Amino acid sequence: MQTDNEKYNETVQPNTAFLNELKEKLPEFFTKEGSFDLDKFRNQLKDKNVNELSEGYQLDFIGKDYARRQAGEMPSTVIVPDEKQNQGEGKNSKNLFFTGDNLEVLRHLQTSYQNKIDVIYIDPPYNTGSDGFVYPDSFEYSDEQLKDMFGLDDDQVERLKSIQGKSSHSAWLTFMYPRLVLAKRLLTDKGVIFISIDDNEQADLRFACDEIFGEANLISQICHKSRASISNDKIVSNSHNQILLYAKNERLVFDSRKEIGTTPKLNGFNHQDGNGKYKLVPVDGPGGAKKGNPFYNFLGVSGYWRFSKERMQKMYDQGLIVKTDNNLQQKYYLSKAKKSRKTVDSWWDEKFYTSSATSRLSKLMGGELLRYS
């Protein structure tokens, strides 16, 4: 007996996912039968003085329609709790850990997490030829079903099936495309996705992401020095990877960029008391704040001070002024410190090495890590 999702999947077309998203955003352009009114849409563009493109370029690859169809399908499996894990090490965990086909997992996540994820990071197969990536051995549909779904003839079906078990660019894109589409749907309006990749598929990945997320939503392609070792057998040692960073809506991320920051660097004296962490900063002194306040002696230290003598005394009585050697310092509580933005242009530092990350993660998790693909 077929489930409702299985019945639905039989009706899915390559553009089903796109039309569902369009219907959600622009319901006024759909008829009561569910068809998209293209003429009405064209007229609206003209009314807004938007020129339709007569020329352009697009991403094409063997399996694209099949990949687009996969992005519109519902899950055909059920999630079964791992009782052993849930009663053991994962008993008090607030995280979700799924094992299984990641495309199917992404379909399941749509139900509860669509438009709710702020940050996604994925480390897909790089398709280097030695990383074990091949497209799954078979399609889940018969030749006749493929012909009917996509309007293919015998030669086109054979061409589509030619990517089975292969690691070609088309095979890799067919694998990645639906996963990226589903990942985008999970992001909040201010959400971002980081994708690691190397030179083998960097161009194809960027082309696919431009189509799925939109060129305008590319925030950056970050150069990441992933290892310290050098490959002397190459003309140029590829000791780095690329990390593509896309937003669901770059404008919203840009407008909220002041919320993204780092804790101020703790230079000089760093202490901690019952009120939490603080640092000491100079309150000026000899040759200091000459404007506004006269030269005076306070606690045996003479200078031009940032504050009046009365205020300095009050702050000292409150424990906010500390005498250190021959100078005066002000307590600066980090809980009150404003975040400061630090714009980066690359991740070219040993602290970002893959080996360093593995070491830190092992230390964090308290033991050796198992890798799941």
What are the tens digits of pLDDT across the range 142-185? 899 888 888 889 998 999 999 988 899 999 999 999 999 999 99
Q: What is the mean pLDDT of residues 60-64?
A: 91
Residue type, 189: D
Residue bearing the bigger pLDDT, 261 or 362? 362
pLDDT above 90 coverage of the chain, percent: 29
| Helix, strand, coil share (%) of the chain residues, nearest 5 | 40, 20, 45
Contact call for residues 88 and 201 (beta carbons, < 8 A) = no
Distance separating the N- and C-terminal Cα atoms of the chain: 32
114-262+342-373 folds as Rossmann fold (3.40.50)
Which pLDDT score, from 0 to 100, does residue 69 have?
Answer: 92
Where in the chain do CATH 3.40.50 domains reside?
114-262+342-373
Residue ranges in 242-353 assigned as alpha helix (H):
250-255, 309-317
Q: Can you tell me the distance from the alpha carbon of 178 to that of 14, in angstroms, rounded to the nearest whole number?
A: 11
pLDDT tens-digit map of 183-215? 999 999 999 999 999 989 999 999 999 999 998
Per-residue buried b or exposed e for 275-295, using 16+ beta carbons within 10 Å of the residue's own CB: eeebbbeebbbeeeeeeebee
Contact call for residues 197 and 126 (beta carbons, < 8 A) = yes
C-alpha R_g of the chain:
29
Question: Which two structure tokens, joined as six digits, stand for 287?
Answer: 């040759």
Contact call for residues 114 and 187 (beta carbons, < 8 A) = no
Which pLDDT score, from 0 to 100, does residue 50 have?
Answer: 62
Which pLDDT score, from 0 to 100, does residue 263 have?
Answer: 47
User: For residue 30, is pLDDT > 70?
Assistant: yes
Question: Which two structure tokens, joined as six digits, stand for 127?
Answer: 């398709």
Question: Which two structure tokens, joined as six digits, stand for 237?
Answer: 């040692």
pLDDT tens-digit map of 221-275? 988 887 777 878 788 878 888 999 999 999 888 877 665 544 444 444 444 554 5
User: For residue 113, is pLDDT > 90?
Assistant: yes
pLDDT tens-digit map of 340-350? 556 666 666 66
Which pLDDT score, from 0 to 100, does residue 118 have?
Answer: 94
Which pLDDT score, from 0 to 100, does residue 288 have?
Answer: 60
Cα–Cα nearest to 70, from 127, 13, 108? 13
